Copies of this chain bind each other. A is one copy, B any other.
């Protein structure tokens, strides 16, 4: 039989302990900041009936990008490409039982059939944080504060990222009341705004002229140019300044100011691809020149819960993706070097296995994460393995040590070796753990 390939399926990734430590660091920040804001964790199935997405996720996603298939019972199903429909379904199912505002979060994996590239994978991980049951703009402000706090916890500063904010209702008002477009024209223009950063200035202008038509084009282009030069909601043209959507956006920026968030700004070109947004939309932008892209986004979607046979519930959510956040942290040099979760590696000398296992048992009872080399190999090979795994401490156990209860002990980052009692080993390990608070596992504890 020919051998199988050791490579993972295209566009997916194996997380070895060294990779998983980084992932856990990012997940820990997500967990901790979400819970600091009172979000409670939930879980949803990896598989859903395809219908759940067909309703509102957008045609591209459902037709071209889902991993959909027919199960052995004839049901058309899909591996989830996003969480929003699942959590909306779950809230609908327990609409009466939940306490509101319901703040819910999850960290889960998703799949989309796309061409893998830098910052994009077929299987990807996402945090989803959503707040159900409150009309704007307070929940929008809270959700933006939440992801802003996550960025700060990662060590990011204001010049590394930007939160761009817009409003779907405002977009509609701009397209119709201000630019004077009909429904079809408005839709085309929204698509064109969405693509703006990906096409040339000339291309953008030509396509805009096509949409306006020859007669309307000169005035239309002037108005677009005015729109694009705006840096604040205050710069919005007179024609829509009194619109409800404008007031909503203004109120949101006031709340963001009160919350001390200095990295949010109004961006009239921000559209967001998904069909279900009904009000505020926003995106977290990575400003690193090598990335310079949207990392993730969110917004208000008031209509989704109502699709599952109950009264609608106003909802605001955000979904940071692991791949782009990891890329952000790497590019901005914000990823520390993580050691193994294992704290002590025991090197076993000359058949002292029972003694070594006894010591390990004692250390574990004190909460010290301990591995024992049970291979009976030569010492240098045992040591090499501990260094390879980046385990911070080594303890040597032979018959003499079992008798004396004093053990040669080495910090793998330092040259000298000490001779320590069991109690001293425990306290040295715990001291190191305390000094790392804020960096690793024990973040915020």
Contacts and interface: CB of A to CB of B under 8 A. Distances in A.
Interface of A: 1, 3-10, 12-17, 19-21, 23-24, 35-49, 51-52, 55, 64, 67, 69-73, 75, 77, 79, 89-90, 92-94, 98-101, 103-104, 109, 111, 113, 123, 133-134, 138-139, 142, 149, 258-259, 307-310, 340-342, 345, 353-354, 357, 361, 364, 367-375, 384-389, 442, 444-445
Contacts of A92: 6
Given A45-B123, A367-B444, A134 B15 contact: no
A368 B33 CA distance: 10
A122 to B, nearest CB: 8
A345 B23 contact: no
Contacts of A385: 99-101
A309 B4 contact: yes
Contacts of A77: 9
A289 to B, nearest CB: 30
B113 A72 contact: yes
B4 A40 contact: no
Contacts of A70: 69
A99 B387 CA distance: 8
Contact of A93 (B7, B308, B384): B7
Q: Which 10 A-B residue pairs are closest in the complex by CB-CB distance?
A: A38-B371, A15-B43, A12-B45, A69-B69, A99-B388, A3-B309, A6-B93, A17-B40, A99-B385, A138-B374
B370 A37 contact: yes
B123 A46 contact: yes
B93 A14 contact: yes
B40 A340 contact: yes
Query: Copies of this chain, how many?
Result: 2
A341 B17 contact: no
A24 to B, nearest CB: 7
A111 B46 contact: yes
Contacts of A23: 43
Most central of A40, A73, A388 by chain B CB within 10 Å: A40
Nearest to A388: B99
Nearest to A121: B45
A342 B258 contact: no
A10 B307 CA distance: 20
B38 A357 contact: no
Nearest to A341: B35
11 contacts: A4-B52, A5-B308, A9-B77, A21-B41, A38-B342, A38-B371, A40-B342, A79-B79, A101-B371, A134-B374, A259-B357
Contact of A6 (B14, B113, B310, B442): B310
Contact of A47 (B4, B89, B123): B123
A63 to B, nearest CB: 11
Given A16-B90, A357-B259, A370-B38, A55 B4 contact: yes
Given A4-B307, A67-B47, A99-B385, A353 B93 contact: no
Nearest to A346: B38
B6 A24 contact: no
Contact of A371 (B37, B90, B386, B444): B37
A387 to B, nearest CB: 8
Contacts of A341: 35, 40-41
A373 B388 CA distance: 50
A37 B372 CA distance: 8
A375 B100 contact: yes
Given A9-B75, A38-B342, A259-B361, 6 more contacts: A4-B309, A6-B90, A6-B310, A9-B47, A79-B79, A101-B375
